[in-house]
Amino acid sequence: MRVTQSMLSNNMLRNLTSSYSKMGKLNDQLTTGKKVNRPSDDPVVAMRGLGYRMQVDKVVQYQRNIGEVNNWLDSTDDALDKVGQALHRTKELVTNAANSGAMTDADREKIKSELDQLRQQIQDTANTKVGDKYIFSGTKTNSPLHDKTITPPSTEPNGYPDLTDPNNAAFTSDININVFDGVELNVNSKSAELFKEIDDMFKSFNDPDVDFGAAIGKVDGMMDELLTERADVGARQNRAELMNDRLETQELISTKQMSMNEDIDFEKVITEMISQESVHRAALSVGARIIQPSLVDFLR
């Protein structure tokens, strides 16, 4: 086959274009630090990268969910702690009132007045909110557990919903938050019945014939139930912490896989860039010799 000057020139230009393209690709990799800057660079790496990136994003979302779980559980534990403090004070007052030899009727009325304030404090605690959601109202997060504006027959006289009514089943329903694939954590405390029982106990203190000696046992019983509820909340807090540790590990693993798939080895790419520049200079040098002769050169 006869090789003409135009064929040599075209081949030279094609090879130079290819060389420029390779250097451009290497330059893009050095600039971005990524092996692939468009799917056409390496479809397999690009598809794997999408999968790893989705995994990282999923883990980040689960970590945000864990933050919401901790917010609910920490607020619940704090509220129940305040109830416990109120019950401790209640026991002190009831024990003093049970001392018939040292207490006058006027003293007992003062104690009843403070007990009534403690009752109202616990009622307010029953309506604790996280953001705009009531945390002790089950799935009826828009409704307060204790509502002083509602009167019978809708609720009990003490302002708490009638939990034996099927229409109020939502007040004792679970709220679950997804924290991993197929894993949910219960974040609310179904303490509606406990708050109602505590309020009934305080209501009995207003009875003119109340036996404060027997009331000490009632207070102890409420404190035991409260401790049981707090232990359950604490167990869920520990599990949430374990899940958070697992998610942090998963984030590291997913990020490492994504980096190994996408990130370049700078030393390797720089070496390739230098080698390609040398090849390109050699091609330019040879090309200059190929296109140098002209018709005038042959006529000399």
- Compute the distance between CA of residue 175 and CA of residue 140 in angstroms, rounded to an integer: 10
Q: What is the rounded average pLDDT of the residues 63-87?
A: 94
Distance, in Å, from the CA atom of 17 to the CA atom of 161, rounded to the nearest integer, reads 80
When pLDDT is averaged across residues 63-68 and rounded to a whole number, the result is 94
How far apart CA 79 and CA 146 sit, in angstroms, is 14
pLDDT for 293: 59
Residue 281: pLDDT band (50, 70, 90) is confident
Could you give the CA distance from residue 208 to residue 29 in angstroms, rounded to a whole number? 85
What are the boundaries of each domain within the chain? 47-258, 266-300
Q: Whole-model pTM?
A: 0.76
Topology classification of domain 47-258 = f41 fragment of flagellin, N-terminal domain (1.20.1330)
Share of the chain above pLDDT 70, in %: 89
The reported pLDDT for the residue numbered 294 is 58
More confident of the two residues 152 and 249: 249
For residue 213, is pLDDT > 80?
Answer: yes
% of the chain with per-residue pLDDT over 90: 39
Neighbours of 142 (CB within 10 A): 9
Quick: pLDDT tens for 108-152: 888 889 999 999 999 999 999 998 999 999 999 998 998 877 655
Q: Which of 61-70, 93-102, 159-168, 217-226 has the lowest mean pLDDT?
A: 93-102
* Pairing, β 176-180 against β 183-186: antiparallel
Q: What is the mean pLDDT of residues 284-298?
A: 64
